Every structure is written in C-alpha cells, then in structure tokens.
Amino acid sequence: MLRGLLSLLLLASVSAPLSGAPISPVHDFNPVALLELDPIPQKQHDAVAPVLQAKAGLVMDADTGLILYEKNSQIPLAMASLTKIMTAVIILESHSLDEVVTINDNYNTLAGVKIGLQKNEKITVGNLLMGLLIRSGGDAALALAKFHSDSVPAFVEAMNQKATLLHLEHTRFQNPIGLDEEGHYSTAYDLALLTKQAMRHRAFRAIVRLPEADISSVDGQIHHSFKNTDQLLGGYLNVIGVKTGTTDAAGESIINWAQGPAGQNILAIVLDSPDRFQENKSLMDWAFRNFFW
C-alpha cells in the first residue's frame, strides 16, 4: 500500500519542462521526503528580533512550516501582485506549458504593468507565465484567466475555491492581477502557505528565479523582453525569488524563498513596507544568523 501511495505522489509531482526558457537547474519536489523528518530549526541564542516598519512580516522554515518570526502575520491586508502566485498555481495545475493562448482582447489601455500583449497574438501558456511572474504583467494575468475559465469572474471564483481548499482562512480574491479592490486581501501567513504550494511546481520554481526573459509569440513575430522585479534575486545569499507587489493600498510587498549554506529553506515576507528589499533582506539575515538546523 505504501509503495502504491508513493507512486501516486510521484506521478502527481511531474510537471512539464518550460520549453525554450533559460532555466537554471532546480530540484524537483520529492514526495518521498514527506515520509522523512525535516531538521527542526533551533534558536542559537536570545537574539533581539528584527524591528520592521512593514505592517506585517513573517519568516517561515519552508520545510517544517515552523514560524521563526512574525509581525501581524494573521491580519488581512491588501496583497497587490502577490495575487499572481494564486493565478499561476491554478494555471499550472490545469494546463500544459506548451498550450497556445490566443489574445482576444486589446490590453493597451489596461492600467498598471503590462508585457505588451497584442490582440490576435498567439502565445504559449509557459511564456505567459513568465510574463506574469517575472514582469508581473496584468495583461498576462487576464489572458491566462480568460483562457482557463472563459471569463475573469469565473476565474476569480476558481481562485477563491482554491483558497478554501488550501485552508487560506483569511484570503479573498476579487481579480487575478492584484488591483486594489474592496474584499481583495490576504495575510502574511496565508501567503506563505500559498507560496509553499506554488513552489511544489517545477515550472514555477524555474520561472521565479530567472533574472530576465525574452519571450515571443508562437510565430516568432512578436517579442516581449523584461527583467525580474526582485532586486534581491541573484545578488544576495541564495535567493530563489518568488514575487514582488506594489499598489497604493498594499504599499511595497515582497515574498522571497532563500536557501542557507546547509540547504535550509526559508520564506521571508514583508507586507506594506517602506523599504521592502532592505527589510526582506534583514529578515533573512536574522533567520540564518540566529537559527541552526
């Protein structure tokens, strides 16, 4: 029975490779590790916890789920483009990366960040996910939502259903982009759980660690080039990256996944920070200095 269970878990973890993307090597999720005991982080001494100006923050040991630091981690706040993590999760669980999406709408007047999708352009799901997660393109989010559910409201319903399944008890979505809207909120703790779910997908892990991307339409006639919005990616520790977000209501927010020298995995989150990169870096510094695994 145990062998059968492991086989099912292994099959469920298989994800198609990201075609045409300059992916750095990443480790696949190993379901066998579910049967192993992860090292429990222990505090080395009574260090003073970091002082955050952000409204909320959290550091979680990603392997055990233990909270190493928290500030207002259960208070619902606007989440800006951290929303797009859920958008990506739903797409990755439902579609292959090589499926082709036809852009049926004109996104030229769409407010916020865009990758520049053109009406009637044909582009793969994998390329749209790169535009969604690296550039944080709102047009990519809408195109994926309509491709999956035929309409944005139907996709938002799927997002909220998934939030319920993941036990994100203080999370509610109103759009797939992260635009400020009444009733669109999450918490640092819920976003940590959501990120752990997203990082189970090989394609997600491969995309969020890319510093930049140059993607094109299926016929190669339309190109979109952009850089990752995460300034800590590739320049500090072993930050694998995840997602940034900024709106008037959410302020500056960021989630980063980082690995320590012994392979420890932590998630560091700050919401509504006056300096998200510095505060996120401070949280990761503090965790790796004051805990051992």
Dihedral angle over CA of 86, 89, 95, 96, nearest 10: 130
**What is the biggest distance separating any 2 CA atoms in the chain, rounded to whole angstroms?**
59
CB 28 within 8 A of CB 247: no
Place of tokens 């004109």: 106
Closest to 88 measured CA to CA, from 28, 148, 30, 168: 148
Pull the structure tokens for residue 215. Answer: 């993607």
Question: Which of 15, 81, 186, 217 is an active site residue?
Answer: 81
Q: Exactly one of 136, 149, 217, 273 is catalytic; name it.
A: 136
Q: Within a 10 A sphere around the Cβ of 108, how many other Cβ atoms?
A: 11
In the block, tokens 């300034």 appear at 231
Q: Which residue type occupies 74?
A: Q
136 is catalytic: yes
Give me the half-sphere count of Cα atoms (radius 13 Å) on the Cβ side of residue 234: 11
Closest Cα to residue 144, out of 164, 130, 134, 163?
130
Q: Does residue 175 contact residue 151 with C-beta atoms inside 8 Å? A: no
Return the closest-CA partner of residue 133 out of 177, 190, 168, 169: 177
The kind and range of the H/E element at 271 are strand 265-273
15, 55, 71, 84: the catalytic one is: 84
Whether the Cβ atoms of residue 119 and residue 292 lie closer than 8 Å to each other: no
Torsion of CA 169, 162, 140, 128, to 10 degrees: 130
Measured CA to CA, the distance from residue 115 to residue 130 in angstroms comes to 10
Catalytic residue list: 81, 84, 136
